[in-house]
Amino acid sequence: MPSAAQLKAGDPADLESLPTSNLKCMSCAGDEVLEALRVLGKAGTNPVAQVLRHQGEFIELDHYPKGDIYDDETGAQYYYHAHRAETGEHGHFHTFLRAKGMPSGIEPAPYAGDAARPLGEDAISHLVAIAMDRSGLPIGLFTTNRWVTGETFYAADDVLAMLDRFAVDHAHPCLATNRWVTALLRLFRPQIEVLLWKRDVAIHDWQRGNAGVDVFEDRRLEITSELPIDIDQQIARVDAALKMRVGVGDRRDGAFPE
pLDDT recorded at residue 53: 87
**For residue range 183-233, what is the model confidence (pLDDT) as tens digits?**
999 999 999 999 999 999 999 999 999 988 999 999 999 999 999 999 999
The CA distances from residue 200 to 92, 175, 193, 216, 223, in Å, are: 21, 33, 11, 11, 12
Check pLDDT > 70 for residue 255. no
The CA distances from residue 111 to 123, 126, 204, 229, in Å, are: 15, 16, 11, 32
Range in 3-7, 69-73, 190-194, 251-255 with the lowest mean pLDDT: 251-255
249: pLDDT confidence band, cut at 50, 70 and 90? very low
Cβ-based burial of 196 (10 A; exposed 0-12, middle 13-18, buried ≥19): buried
Check pLDDT > 80 for residue 2. no
**Residue 148 neighbours by CB distance under 10 Å:** 18
Which residues on adjacent β-strands are paired with residue 32?
A: none
Residue 7 makes CB contacts below 8 A (sequence gap 6+) with: 194, 197, 198, 201
pLDDT recorded at residue 147: 93
Range in 12-21, 31-40, 146-155, 166-175 with the lowest mean pLDDT: 12-21
Signed CA dihedral, 131, 132, 137, 139: sign only: negative
pLDDT recorded at residue 141: 97
E-assigned strand segments in the chain: 64-70, 76-81, 91-98, 124-132, 138-144, 223-228
pLDDT recorded at residue 70: 97
Check pLDDT > 90 for residue 117. no
Provide the whole-model pTM: 0.90
Check pLDDT > 50 for residue 250. no
3 against 64, higher pLDDT: 64
Question: How many Å apart are CA 99 and CA 122, to the nearest integer?
Answer: 6
93: pLDDT confidence band, cut at 50, 70 and 90? very high
